[in-house]
């Protein structure tokens, strides 16, 4: 048995287990700890100390199996707890506070990203509306230009028809004038 002022030590063998008497103490203190946790009240101070020692042995050895054997589990993180409850509470509370700070930071970062995305989305929506309006105006301009083009083609066709008619009338006029001039000469002879 260890006194309350000294740090408990675990004699580990090469297989990661606990040797001799401490293994029996560990099993017994684990049973007492389980009884206290399941609703049984333990009033013996030495049993509370044994529970603390059992927890320290379990936590310092990385993992405990159900039968009380201590086994090393590679890759499994372990929390090393001190003998006094205040130190353990401070360590756990600082760990929890650190995690809360990290969550707050992540939340702030994600909220900032969401804000930027919403602003970008709003700007893109405005740009899309502006482009749609410009497209409508361009379509109206195109329709007006098509109408003007059709009107100018009709006007050109009408002008060509008038020119042809005018040419024909001029040819008829000159032929008639020529016939008159020829007829007047022949009558003078």
Q: Does any domain span residue 92?
A: no
Instruction: Say how many C-beta atoms besides its own lie within 10 A of residue 33's C-beta.
Output: 19
Note whether residue 97 is domain-resident. no
Domain that holds residue 46: 8-83
- Tell whether 137 is covered by a domain: no
SS3 70: strand
- Whether 93 maps to a domain, the answer reads no
Q: Is the full-model pTM beyond 0.75?
A: no
Q: Does residue 21 form part of some domain?
A: yes
Per-residue pLDDT tens for 49-103? 554 554 454 444 444 444 444 444 455 444 554 455 566 778 898 999 999 999 9
Q: Which residues contact 158 (CB under 8 A, 6 or more apart)?
A: none
Whether 16 maps to a domain, the answer reads: yes
Please answer whether residues 67 and 26 qualify as being in contact, where contact means their C-beta atoms are separated by less than 8 angstroms: no
Domain count, the chain: 1
The two tokens of residue 142 are 């195109």
How does pLDDT run along the chain (189 residues), one tens digit per residue?
Answer: 444 444 444 444 444 444 444 445 545 555 555 554 444 444 444 444 554 554 454 444 444 444 444 444 455 444 554 455 566 778 898 999 999 999 999 999 999 999 999 999 999 999 999 999 999 999 999 999 999 999 999 999 999 999 999 999 999 888 888 777 777 677 766
Counting DSSP H helices and E strands in the chain, the numbers are 3, 0
């Amino acid at each position: 048995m260890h006194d309350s002022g000294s740090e408990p030590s675990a004699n580990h063998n090469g297989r990661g287990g606990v040797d001799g008497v401490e293994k029996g103490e560990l099993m017994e203190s684990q049973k007492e700890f389980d009884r206290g946790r399941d609703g049984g009240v333990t009033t013996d101070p030495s049993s509370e100390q044994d529970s603390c020692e059992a927890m320290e042995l379990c936590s310092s050895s990385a993992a405990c199996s159900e039968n009380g054997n201590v086994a090393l589990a590679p890759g499994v993180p372990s929390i090393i707890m001190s003998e006094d409850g205040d130190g353990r509470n401070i360590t756990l509370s600082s760990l929890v506070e650190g995690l809360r700070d990290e969550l707050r930071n992540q939340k702030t970062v994600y909220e900032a990203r969401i804000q930027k995305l919403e602003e970008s989305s709003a700007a893109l929506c405005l740009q899309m509306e502006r482009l749609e309006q410009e497209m409508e105006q361009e379509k109206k301009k195109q329709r007006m230009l098509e109408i003007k083009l059709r009107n100018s083609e009709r006007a050109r066709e009408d002008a060509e028809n008038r020119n042809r008619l005018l040419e024909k009338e001029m040819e008829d006029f000159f032929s008639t004038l020529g016939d008159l001039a020829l007829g007047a000469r022949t009558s003078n002879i």
